[in-house]
Structure formats: structure tokens, C-alpha cells
Amino acid sequence: MATGYLEILRARHALRLLTGTLVGRLPNATAAIALVLFVRAQGGTYSLAGALAAVYGVANAVGQPVLGRLVDLYGQPRVQLPAAVLAALAMSVFALSGTDPLPFAYAAVAASGLFTPPLEGGLRALWPSVLRREEQVHVAYAMDAVAQEIMFTVGPLLVTLCVSLWDERAALLVLSALGVLGALSVVVSAPSRAWRSAPREAHWLGALRSPGLLALLAAFLFVGIALGSITVASVSYADGHGGDAVYGWLMTGLGLGALAGGAVYGARRWAGAPERRLRVLVALLAVCYLPLLLTPGVVAMVALSVVSGVFLAPCIACAFIIVDRHAPAGTVTEAFSWLVTTFTVGASVGTGLAGPVVEAGGAVWGFALPGAAGVVSLLVLLATGRVLAAPVRGAVVAASSETDPNRAAEPRFSAGDRA
């Protein structure tokens, strides 16, 4: 199973790009918990902490596709590093000034979210220039999805470590500095400096002019809703079965399931069109959410949470391939950034929906939401089957030339060449 991943990591620049991207994304992955801890330490309420975290999330959702388009137009170093520095400066200003005056705090947090660099989409645009075979790129997408689960597990632990060693302000400052260092590691690498987007047709919609991409984004909005709602339902379950420790185990189980599923999915080569495969994966994802409605004892519930996460990373990895197939030429970074934004917005919507549902019907009704959202996602994929079956002609993943870093990248894989 590990052979395919080791082959990817042995490729020149691969480990550096993956590590740099994960480190660079730590401020984004830990923003919610770091902001809550800092605001509470400042004497602020949970409502204020939640509001600031929400402002950060909305600004981040807006900024990702905008910065992604700029990366496609002007290259990675000219956008990613300045954005990382601005995001870190804004968060540092917030950490040093605190929550008073409040409008200034909101503005600083919003600026930090808005300028968070699209490193995630940038990495996926770089894989074809680092890996010479298409099947290796697909394995890299799966490895990327698995690495995200590790990051979202390690990130909160890093926040708590910084708080225990120093304080909440130091946690924000350290994470901001790490974000800049990670972005710097990526953009000074040869693949990032040499990468050029394929020539693009001028259009104000950019990547969103692709019907197939729009269909995928609509489906993944509901996958995000499922993930957001399951976290709130888990809190409600944990309140009646042991508190925060149980909630931690449930989230750990969800992450472990995603890790295992992503590892298995990326370890083999899959035949057939990824659009058809995604429908199967989303159906399985929805089915695996349904046993959570049983709300058994803690041990069994943790086991069910592991099962519920198994198909999440494979769904995400498969979606990466479909973005690659449907993104119009010259919009690949923007297209991947739209997927990130849609998933983030969906998770926020799911969190908001689950709150009143749990209050009205308890944890059982809360756990009904992920399954229902998964079913709706599947229905969207089925309804848009014809659109998804017709990848954009001329859609490409641009690859850089390692032999001549001054030459614009040439298309390596075209949508029409894929099975």
C-alpha cells in the first residue's frame, strides 16, 4: 500500500512542496481554535470568539478563489508569498492589540482570512510538473487528502502546546510565522518559480464558466454540510455521554477513518471515469453516516465515527481529479480554490443548520443531517451526470519545464486524453 506514496515522496521536490504547503496552511487550519482561546483569555465571550472565527472563515472563503485567479495570471511567488506576509501581519496586529477596539479587531481578523494564500490549490497545480505520469498525480491527490487529515489533527495539538509553553497570544504569533515560512519554502522552490498557467481565455467568470465544475461544487457544498453538521451533533452526543473527552474521541475516530480510507484509495489505480466513481463514493459516504443515528454507547459510537469517515478522503481525492478535468485552461489554481471555498462554506452552513436541529430533537436528529446531506449530494451528481461526463475541451493542468525555468509551462495532461 505504501509503495505508491513512497514513490511520490521520492520524486524531486515532492516532499518539500507537500511539507511546505502543510506548514503554510497551519494558520488557516488552526484559526478557529486559536481565535477562541485568545478571545477567551482576553476576557471576551464565546459569542465574540465565534463571531471573529466566522468573520475569518467568510473572508477566507472570499479570498481563496480571488487569490487563486491572481496566481493563475501572475504566477505563484508573486502572489503566494506577499499574501502570506499580509495575512500574518494582520493576525499579528490582532494578537498584539487584542479585541479592543472591536471594529479594529474584526478588520484585522478579516484581513488575515482574506489574504490567506491559496497554497492548497497551488500544490495541486504543481503536482503535474513534479510527477511525470498521470497515475502518479492521481496518487498524489489521494496523499494530499490524507495529509490534510493529519494536519487538522496535529494543528490543534500545536495550538495547545504553544499555549501551555507560552500563552494564547504567542500561539497566534507562532502560527503566523510558521505560515510565512511554509509559503516561503514553496515559492522559492524550482517548480513553483517555473510554473506557468496555461493560456486562458479572458472571461469574468474564470473557472466558474465550466458547467462541470459548477456541478461538482454544488455536490460538494452538501458534502461540506454533512461534515459541519456531524461536528455539532457529536458535541450534543458527548454532552450526554462524558463531555469533551468523548467529543475528542469522536473527532479522532472521524479523522482516523478518513486517513485509512484515503490511504487505501490512493494505493491502487482505478479504472473508469472519475465522475462515475465519485457517485459511488458519495453514495457510500451517505450510507456510512446513517448508523450514527443509532447513538449507541461510547465505544460503539467511536467505532461508528471511524466508519463514517472512511469515504471522506476518497471523495475529496476523486474530486481533485474531476476539477483537473473540468477546469478551463489557465484556471487550475482558481478552480481548486473554488472547491476549497465551497467545502468551507458548506461546513459553515452545516454547523449553522445542526444547532437548531439538535436543540429541537437532540443528537439523533443532528446525526440525521449528515446522511441527508450526503443523499442530496448524490442526487446532484446524478442530476448533472451528462454535464460531468463532458470535460471541458482544452482544460489542462499546466506543468513547468524543469530544464528551462524561464519557459512558460506546457500542458501535460488534457481532458480529452483521460479515460
Give kind and range of the element (H or E) at residue 323: helix 312-326
Confidence band of 46 (pLDDT split at 50, 70, 90)? confident
pLDDT digits (tens, 9 = 90+) for 386-406: 999 887 654 544 333 333 333
Among 164, 197, 230, residue at a domain's last position: 197
Q: Are residues 51 and 159 in the same domain?
A: yes
Query: pTM here?
Result: 0.82
Mean pLDDT of the chain, nearest integer: 88
Same domain assignment for residues 191 and 211 = no
CATH of the domain at 312: 1.20.1250.20
Give the residue numbers spanning the domain of 350: 204-419
Q: What is the chain's percent helix, strand, coil content, to nearest 5?
A: 80, 0, 20
Residue owning grid cell 494530499: 144
Residues 248 and 371 in one domain: yes
C-alpha cell at 64: 481563496
pLDDT in tens, 113-136: 999 999 999 999 999 999 978 889
Domain stops at, among 179, 197, 215: 197
- Tens digits of residue pLDDT in 244-303: 778 878 888 898 899 899 889 988 888 889 999 999 999 999 999 999 999 999 999 999
Residue 406 CA to residue 234 CA, distance in Å, equals 52
Say yes or no: 119 and 167 in one domain: yes
Instruction: Please name the helix (run of DSSP H) or strand (run of DSSP E) that holds residue 21, with its range, or none.
Output: helix 14-24
Let me know the angle formed at the C-alpha of 266 by 262 and 373, rounded to the nearest 5 degrees: 40
Cell of 28: 488557516
If one counts the domains in the chain, the total is 2
Count other Cβ atoms within 10 Å, centred on residue 370.
Answer: 29
Asked whether the predicted pLDDT for residue 344 surpasses 90, the reply is no
For 295-328, write each residue's pLDDT tens digit: 999 999 999 999 999 999 999 999 999 998 999 9
pLDDT tens string 82-113: 999 999 999 999 999 999 999 999 999 999 99
Which pLDDT score, from 0 to 100, does residue 399 have?
37
